[in-house]
Amino acid sequence: MERSRFVTGLLLAFSLGGLACTAGGSETPDAGSAPVADTGPEDLSFDAPRVLLHEAFSGSNCGPCLEADANLQAVLDQRPGQYTLIHYQVGSDPYMSHESVARRFYYLPEGAQSYGIPYLHVDGVNGMHPNEVNNDQGYLLDNFDQFLQAPCHLRLESQHTVSGQTVEIQVGLEAGGDYLSEDLVLHVAILEGVTVNNVGTNGQTEFHHVMKKMLPNADGRPLPPLVTGDRMGRNYSYTFQGDYNPDTSRQNMVNHATEHTVEDFDDLEVLVWVQDRVTKQVHQSAWSVVE
């Protein structure tokens, strides 16, 4: 059975081709997948509502992560529709993966050998311990509202369907301003809405928006510099291989070539974001989630 997940107001009508991402992580660009500038006489610039990306690094055996996740969700619940959220399970969580660890180290100084959790990055450049920031008050709604004020001129939308263990993804992007960096990256992550099989010792009984796979990997896919009026479409297809492995661990992380850790394929979500690989600034995010 095929299940559709979508967000409203999709830009996907202008999808110009795409790329296939196989289970092994390779990609094959289609002809016509480069951005196309609209040459019409109208003013192509626009402001877009920023959707704040929250990247939470957590783990089921991390005591402070219980409080951090609860406090974060309490803030997000006050701003529905204005955020996206991805949990990277790391530390000693059974669902930690090489990709989740890679994202944690991405935000650390070059040469770092270890990391701490819980930790939170909002739109990439705003990193903090979610319990200790603001003189131990934790992440606050005031922080959210402050970060939301950063100008945004990028529309980004996603749609996905799930058939068996295969996820088909469409991404639409439109630039209402210039993003001239040579280091832009499009990240695509498949999440599971709720997981319970990775319960540990910290008291949490379920976990939300848990990263299961990044396409093609934690590095994402490079984008060309964008100028006002550019529109772009990208298509991805990913098939989870093999069967569910109930015995993954820090010493035995999931091998995506032969197995997976998806508990319920009816509960898969997709999160996409555009980020500058060097400055780490996230310019926009969007997701298609299970309501």
User: What mean pLDDT is predicted for residues 17-29?
Assistant: 44
Predicted structure pTM score: 0.89
82 occurs within a structural domain: yes
Contacts of 3 (CB under 8 A, 6+ apart): 161, 162, 163, 266
Q: How many domains does the chain divide into?
A: 1
227 occurs within a structural domain: yes
pLDDT at 41: 63
**Does the pLDDT value for residue 226 go beyond 50?**
yes
45 occurs within a structural domain: no
Question: Between residues 17 and 274, which one has the greater pLDDT?
Answer: 274
182 occurs within a structural domain: yes
Alpha carbons 241 and 98: distance in angstroms, whole number: 17
Contacts of 255 (CB under 8 A, 6+ apart): 245
Residue 261 tokens, joined? 């850790």
What is the 8-class DSSP label of residue 93? -
**Does the pLDDT value for residue 26 go beyond 60?**
no
Alpha carbons 159 and 11: distance in angstroms, whole number: 10
**Does the pLDDT value for residue 34 go beyond 80?**
no
170 occurs within a structural domain: yes
Range of the domain at 104: 2-39+50-288
Which amino acid belongs to residue 18? G
